Structure 1
Amino acid sequence: MKKKYIYRRAIALLILVTIFLFISVSVYKCAKGHSINKQQPPISHFPEKIDLNHTFRGKLAEVFSDSNCLHVASGIELGVAPVIDEADTAILNKMDTVDSCAFYSVAKLTHSLPYLVPIAKELLDSIGSDFNKVLKAKKMPPFKMVVTSLTRSSKQQKQLSRRNKNASINSAHCFGTTFDISWTKFSPPQGESYIPEVKLKLILASILDQYRDMGRCFVKFEKKQTCFHITVAGKTIDYSKLACDTNTNNRLIEKVEKMKQERFK
């Protein structure tokens, strides 16, 4: 009888130990899982990797010829309502500040404000990072891209259009989705380094060429302004069906004006 009691007690103890171990392991796994999840970075809007050895071929003006209406249509889809002026904090607070960093330098902005919507800021950072990676792969000094223009207020755009006939009043720069990168100016690293600008320009072009193919952005090669005019691309508009004619541009202008008017209701 005594042996039977001891046997039952041993089985009960074994069952309790098993349950305890099971609960302990489950809690550990759960806690570990939460810890790992907290350390995981957010999923990028641009997960694709580029070919660091890609060589750009073709004429810049022909390859990078996305029309203004494509840029504006994407700006309307992904951007903010047009910024009125520098004091328009209601809109500016919805955007990210853009400053010089390890991958690019922001030039002195005379007709734009240092802001972009988050998705456009991510695009700029991604281009800058890939530019740096290509230079490393080619064992070249770490030159930086130079950003020459960012978000323009309506006031700045009007002033610019009076001085420059090519600066359309209906500009994608007004939505915080667009930025310009110079193809003649690159910021050199500290110390004496020299690389022909044409080589750096073609490296930048090779990156933008792949970004366009992936549907990340629209690019216009600006010859007179010596820059690549870049707008982050959206995913809900079928741009292939967007006829870039006078009627389309007029409809976009009307839509932009309506967006401005709705802000003051």
Structure 2
Amino acid sequence: MKITKNNYLAIFFSIVILLALTRCIFPKIAADRDNNNDSKNDSTHVSEYDSLRRNASNVPLDKPSRFFDKNGKEIKNRIYSVPRFCDAFPDSNNVQLESAKLYGVKPVMNREDAEGRKKELVYVSASPYYTVDKLKSSIPYLVPRAAILLNDIGRSFFDSLQIKKIPLHKFIITSVLRTHEDVDKLRGTNRNATQNSCHLYGTTFDICYNRYTTVSDPEGPARRAVRNDTLKWVLSEVLRDMRENNRCYIKYEVKQGCFHITVR
């Protein structure tokens, strides 16, 4: 039998009216269905809550704080430095060179060549954690792996200063990526600037250990003066941890006044 449009609408409205009458005459049916859905939703929420609570219960709430002891008293974090700088940071140029060749770019010939290699390199001269010195024999670019290392060192240095109640200071980068032309010019005055320098590969940077930049509010009160040696001790702790975690190789340069660092 062919169903016309009018017949279809009549059947549809009849069913709707029948369901409405059923709900009015037997309200318990609808209530039971709603209750079942609510119970299901409640059980789901309870299950999720129990799961979160179980996960939270596995968190060691009694883990020691870096700032307060178990009685809520502020902890005084001491400065330990390292036993001897030359022993703590002994990695020679030959050791660092292997890592530089592994993770670095093809050696850069000159500044013009460097301009064409910026797709492989990261600009590192702008950071809230460190200052890049006025560079005469290098340019502020690193491979991404080394740029991340540098940023992590800067952030960890800030954290260490904070927990030791020392006013914030930025360390200073004195050398980054060098070209072959830069190295040739330096070899006459700096015997550490070897022909096959790690700086050629964009994996290496030098951090000065006897100069720092004070972080202060220009309109605020003067910051407490901090000796460079104190800042050097804190920085050495950070660098030792990075080296022991296999993040980098480090050479303590006595005459150049810097930590010579290559990513690994």
| Bin for the TM-score computed over the shorter chain | 0.5 to 0.7
1:96 counterpart residue number: 122
* Distance in 2 separating the partners of 1:80 and 1:134: 32
For the Cα contact (< 8 Å) 2:82–2:236, is it kept in 1? no
Instruction: State how 1:142-221 maps to structure 2 within 5 Å.
Output: 142-190=168-216, 191-221=222-252
The two structures have a TM-score, normalised by structure 1, of: 0.68
* Distance in 1 separating the partners of 2:126 and 2:207: 13
1:146 shift after superposition:
0.5
1:223 counterpart residue number: 254
Q: Secondary structure at the match of 1:92?
A: coil
Instruction: State how 1:76-87 maps to structure 2 within 5 Å.
Output: 76-87=101-112
Of stretches 198-207 and 57-66 in structure 1, the one that deviates more from structure 2 is 57-66
* Distance in 2 separating the partners of 1:120 and 1:149: 13
* Distance in 1 separating the partners of 2:162 and 2:110: 40
For the Cα contact (< 8 Å) 1:131–1:204, is it kept in 2? yes
The two structures have a TM-score, normalised by structure 2, of: 0.68
How many pairs align? 203
The list of structure 1 runs, each at least 4 consecutive aligned residues, that deviate by more than 3 angstroms after superposition, is 190-193
For the Cα contact (< 8 Å) 1:83–1:92, is it kept in 2? no
1:54 shift after superposition:
6.8
Residue 70 in structure 1 maps to residue 118 in structure 2: no
1:261 counterpart residue number: none
- Give the partner amino acid of 1:141: P
Of stretches 122-131 and 161-170 in structure 1, the one that deviates more from structure 2 is 161-170
Structure 2 segments unaligned to the other structure (5+ residues): 1-17, 42-76, 217-221
2:70 counterpart residue number: none
* Distance in 1 separating the partners of 2:126 and 2:78: 26
* Distance in 2 separating the partners of 1:64 and 1:189: 27
2:153 to 127, 132, 135: 127
For the Cα contact (< 8 Å) 1:116–1:151, is it kept in 2? yes
1:180-234: per-residue Cα shift (whole Å, max 9, x none)? Answer: 000101011234541111110111001111111110000000011000000111x
Q: Secondary structure at the match of 1:146?
A: strand
1:160-198: per-residue Cα shift (whole Å, max 9, x none)? Answer: 112222221111100000000001010112345411111
The 3 A distance-change label for structure 1 pair 54 and 188 is: closer
* Distance in 2 separating the partners of 1:204 and 1:182: 10
* Distance in 2 separating the partners of 1:159 and 1:193: 40
Q: Secondary structure at the match of 1:162?
A: coil
1:91-111: per-residue Cα shift (whole Å, max 9, x none)? Answer: 233111011422111000011
* Distance in 1 separating the partners of 2:79 and 2:228: 18
2:48 counterpart residue number: none
1:159 shift after superposition:
1.1
- Give the partner amino acid of 2:240: D
**Which structure has the bigger radius of gyration?**
2
1:53 shift after superposition:
5.8
- Give the partner amino acid of 2:105: V
Q: Secondary structure at the match of 1:112?
A: coil
